[in-house]
């Protein structure tokens, strides 16, 4: 079996498709797909693109499939400071700035904080968290966990999110290992669940209850953009909203 054939089979199984289901989704014959998985047929670049779309494979893995089939990589990884990325940088900065007075930041696939807005810098700065640090590593510190009032509930959802992201990318050992760590937190309280589980920060006299949404680029053609996530925090109660508005007015 060729490297391409093994990789294709692994991704198909990871996405829980039968050969017949994938063939239908990618609009190819089940016979040809079977030949691709056994190495009896070689794929074209166009076929790899169709299979990548059907399986929703991340761009890094698509480059690997191309390499395994003997083709050059299709997707680049541009520098964040590159001239071509200027519209992207402007869009990200606009989103972060416009989200104030609520916290927001952007992270990469390893949960490294690349950029924050001022409210996020203030909030996370109180816990000793800075740009360039990995949230996964930061949240494993006892001093940070102690600032999260509902840590068991938060840890449970962090573990689930890490495993989901790992599975979506074909398995990332670092994310799986971190998920196992967070899963060892005390059992969450399931009797007081609301529509979302907020993260309740308590630093000194400051208490903020925040939930978040995640934004991603809809049509990435660059490896860096395929990984980026913008996390936008919102107050989950009136007291937190008033506190954030007050902190913004004082800044």
Domain ranges in the chain? 3-68, 83-149+198-250, 151-191
Over the stretch 100-156, which tens digit does the pLDDT of each residue have? 999 999 999 889 999 999 999 998 888 888 999 999 999 999 999 999 999 999 999
Residue range 83-149+198-250 in CATH 3.30.450: yes
Nearest Cα to 62, choosing from 111, 6, 107, 4? Answer: 4
- 0.75 exceeded by the pTM? yes
User: How far is residue 32's CA from residue 42's CA, in Å, rounded to a whole number?
Assistant: 10
User: How far is residue 75's CA from residue 198's CA, in Å, rounded to a whole number?
Assistant: 37
The CATH class that applies to domain 3-68 reads mainly alpha
Q: Which range among 92-96, 142-146, 171-175 shows the weakest confidence by mean pLDDT? A: 171-175
pLDDT at 251 over 70: no
pLDDT at 3 over 80: yes
Q: Give pLDDT, residue 156.
A: 94
């Amino acid at each position: 079996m060729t490297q391409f054939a093994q990789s294709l089979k692994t991704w198909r199984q990871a996405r829980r498709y039968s050969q017949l289901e994938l063939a239908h989704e990618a609009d190819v014959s089940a016979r040809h797909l079977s030949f691709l998985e056994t190495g009896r047929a070689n794929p074209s670049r166009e076929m790899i693109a169709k299979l990548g779309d059907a399986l929703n494979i991340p761009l890094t893995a698509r480059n690997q499939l191309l390499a395994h089939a003997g083709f050059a990589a299709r997707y680049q990884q541009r520098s964040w400071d590159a001239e071509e990325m200027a519209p992207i940088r402007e869009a990200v900065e606009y989103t972060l700035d416009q989200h104030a007075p609520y916290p927001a930041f952007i992270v990469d696939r390893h949960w490294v904080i690349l950029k924050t807005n001022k409210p996020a810098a203030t909030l996370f700065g109180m816990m000793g968290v800075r740009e360039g640090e990995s949230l996964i590593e930061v949240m494993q510190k006892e001093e940070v966990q102690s600032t999260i009032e509902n840590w068991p509930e938060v840890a449970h959802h962090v573990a689930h999110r890490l495993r989901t992201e790992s599975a979506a990318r074909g398995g990332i050992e670092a994310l799986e290992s971190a998920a196992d760590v967070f899963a060892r937190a005390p059992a969450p309280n399931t009797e007081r669940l609301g529509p979302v589980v907020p993260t309740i920060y308590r630093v000194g006299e400051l208490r903020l209850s925040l939930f978040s949404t995640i934004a991603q680029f809809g049509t990435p053609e660059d490896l860096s953009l395929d990984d980026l996530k913008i996390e936008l925090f919102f107050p989950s109660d009136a007291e937190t909203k008033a506190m954030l508005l007050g902190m913004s007015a004082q800044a």
